[in-house]
Structure 1
Amino acid sequence: MAQFGKPSLRHRVLPWFAGFDGPLAFAVFVLACAGMLIMYSSGYDHGTRFQDHGRNMLIAATIMFVVAQVPPQRLMALAVPLYVFGVTLLIAVAVFGITKKGAKRWLNVGVVIQPSEVLKIAMPLMLAWWFQKREGHLRPLDFVVAGVLLMVPVGLIMKQPDLGTSLLVLIAGLSVLYFAGMSWALIVPPVLIGVIGVALLVVFEPSLCADGNRWPVLHDYQQQRICTLLDPSRDPLGKGFHIIQGMIAIGSGGVFGMGFMKGTQTHLEFIPERTTDFIFAAYSEEFGLIGTLFLIVAFVFLILRGLAIALEAPSLFSRLLAGSVTMIFFAYAFVNMGMVSGILPVVGVPLPFISYGGTAMVTLGLAVGILMAISNAKRLVQS
């Protein structure tokens, strides 16, 4: 009579990792290693930043692992509740929020949280759910409703004000609209006209950036960031200091960099926010053009793998969600590198898996877990 022994620990644990997307996991691992390396260099004398960064990565990895086991159908069931919950928290922030440095972005619920981070995932979930329900009979009105669903949280986040997060939520939502069938002709031209219009006005009317002038719609700090981007030297020791020092650090790295732990701009503390928003400047200074290209290639590989998962996804909901989540990674990386390099305004967007930040790291882990779950669902359908 055959006897069956108890399965070994390896055989019991292995199925949990069977659904992991290897190329995606590899890209995230490479970026995480780069993040730990530069965080040690730029944050070793910055309290417990390095240890806290490692802890945040472990938390994000745990969330990624758990979410990767969740079928997309269950994620779809969370779309409406999570969106409503996120918008409710944003309204609570507007009424009861904590104000720091002139911005009301946080809520104390026993622990201090930043509810706008929830919308980075809740927004694409909600819009993907909306278009999935209307698959096969989409009408122009459906895109109008989706636009309203998008602009409600974006407007609440901008009012805090938090330009960086509102930009990421907007890009995530517009990505869903585009992947659902909306033409670029309806998305890109208004954005380009606004950007070019502001640039031309500031160039040909320098008085617009004079102290005391107020622009309609924009907050004072947003107005100053645009003016500083176009001419950082107008206030080199004040509002232009971040951009100038970031560009100096990137340039001083040269081709091969100054070496690990040898960045002068970093360790002499000329780079503001060297462990958070401007950590890319510290990385470029120490690892140079070669290291920067390596980092860019890793991000490009991550984004291409995410888009490949979206193309192969088994349902419209999965395709829209995977595509928009991937575009979040693109927006994070592009905006952060752009602002540190002086080609975009400083908007406070972290570099994925590199910058310090607990809430942002958890959001990134959740996003990777969603891509893993969709990739696993495709594999199960094919088998």
Structure 2
Amino acid sequence: MKTKLALFGAALSCLAATPSMAFNINTCFGVPIKWGTNGPAMGASSISFPTGYWRDGLQRTVDLLNQNPSPFFFALQTDTGGLALGNGQNEVWGSSDNGILQGAPAITYWRDTCFQFLGVVVTHRDEADVIFDYRAPFQWTADELKSSIIRYTGTRRQLQSTGVHEFGHAMGLLHVNTEYNIMGADFEHIWANGSAARGYLGEDASDGAVFLYGLWSANYQDLGVAHWKYAFADGQYSRHVKTGIYDASGVALPTVSVNGETGYRVNRGQTVQVEFSYENNGKDTQTVNTGWYVSTNDIISRSDLRIATNTGMTLARNNVLTYRRTLTIPNNLARGTNYWVGTIVDMEGRVPDSVPSNNATYIPIRIN
């Protein structure tokens, strides 16, 4: 797991505080600490992130952080000076120095101004540096494929999922251990459908961005659904597990491996409860129709067999909704065959969604 260190100047002092929502931030005499401007530049090492695969992966990471309903964003550029902590520049690089990394796969350092004079609090973020561990055993990938990343069928840690977590710190967010959240165990905060899988900022961290920087004037809307959920607190971090399928009384069904992922054994005509986590990562509360489907593959789409519908599901940007829907497995599915039960939030696509690709996901099943 990652650890974080706040780097302060000799005259600076800061306190951590927890707002009423799950996101956590730093405060200075009760005032949230944040950047004084939107769009601070972040200089990327051309050695750690050379042009091509790795630089593209880092840019994708920043883009995923910037997909939020606040006006805040980072502007990635190539670093032109020396890389160092406390040099007044925001930088991102890879390192093998354990004195900096402190045993973490990645770490963020920040420096803040915080003082009170004649009853007036002066505070702002001055610098943030993100450093990735480039030593074994932390093997990275910038792929957005299930076959590449841990917790699926791969062996590598995704640059994007860990990077969004670290840039979340740079933006002003702290760890969370109470909700499904990228600021918890980021490698267990993944959207997936078909072969694709990627980390993302998510509902609670998006809410934290709005708390710090306000709402963006643009019409940024984003509904999403994931087959992960909150499990338990592990120190500062929330740990997450995959959502499941249960019998009618709420008891988890027997599991089976389906293409390297955990699936569930079900009977034709059986009544089951299927669980997914729904999120509103956008600007406005939305009331939408949600569908549940059966597919012959792990790509859930509107062309699959719809077996249930919820009309009028309301999703606000407050807390992640992990929801179980009671379904009946169709009687005409082939015995001994793998299928995928999935869901699509806003199944008609009525919301002008800025990230429509994350509206569907799945759980594998095998018919007894």
| TM over 0.5, shorter chain | no
- TM-score tier by shorter-chain length is under 0.3
Q: Which has the higher strand share?
A: 2
Q: Which has the higher helix share?
A: 1
TM-score by length of 2: 0.25
TM-score by length of 1: 0.24
Structure with higher RCO (Cα < 8 A, 6+ apart): 1
